Amino acid sequence: MRTLIIMAILTSSLAAAGCGKSNDGTSGTPPPSATATAVAPAATPQAPSTPSVTASAVPVAAKKVELEIASVGDTMFFDKKTLTVATGDLVHLTLKNNGKLAVMQHNWVLVKKGTEAKVALGGMEKAQDAGYVVPSDDVLAYTPLAPPQKTVEVTFTAPAPGDYPYICTFPGHYVVMKGVLTVSP
């Protein structure tokens, strides 16, 4: 929504600039590199906050990042203890359950630091129908449960810079099945 508002402001500023001549005698038309081509949906009309809105005010599209992680056979371990992305990245994470035993179902749950036990215990209360995850402010992203030999996925926007634990919330797994997602600025 913020991007659309900025685009609407940019579009109206550029249109206003094209209505007269600039001080240097040119037509006031912005150079081709500054022309906005996106059409924003109808919004409440607002005057631009400053008359000198530039194309650099438009946010850059998020970088798409593909991450893959897997369980290690019929154990309670992820094959990667660390993952790294940048703040604002659009992250697509795929979890492959390489186990073969029915009791080795797994998920991938990104949580705020220090909330691993709270999130895991809350998920146990919710049970398997909810994938052992209770959505809350402490849960930043999660996959559904992956049965043995299956793959699940989640797409999310990387949070603010910092180190964020990821765990499996299948009962008893979170104590050893964990890692850290480092988010750089």
34 and 68 assigned to the same domain: no
Tell me what pLDDT residue 103 has.
87
The per-residue b/e assignment along 109-130, b for 16 or more CB within 10 angstroms, e otherwise, is bbbbeebbeebbebbeeeeeee
69 and 86 assigned to the same domain: yes
95 and 44 assigned to the same domain: no
Q: What percent of the chain has pLDDT over 70?
A: 67
Question: Looking at residues 81-95, what average pLDDT do you find?
Answer: 97
Confidence of residue 74 (pLDDT cuts 50, 70, 90): very high
Q: Please give the Cα distance from 165 to 171 (Å, whole number).
A: 17
CATH number of the domain encompassing residue 163 = 2.60.40.420
126 and 97 assigned to the same domain: yes
pLDDT tens readout for residues 134-174: 999 999 999 999 999 999 999 999 999 999 999 999 999 99
For residue 69, the enclosing domain spans 64-184
Confidence of residue 61 (pLDDT cuts 50, 70, 90): low
pLDDT tens readout for residues 102-124: 989 999 999 999 999 999 998 88
76 and 39 assigned to the same domain: no
Q: CB of 138 within 8 A of CB of 118?
A: yes
Structure tokens given for 46: 């607002």
Query: How far is C-alpha 132 from the chain's CA centre?
Result: 21
Residue in 180, 152, 183, 150 with CA at minimum distance from that of residue 165: 180
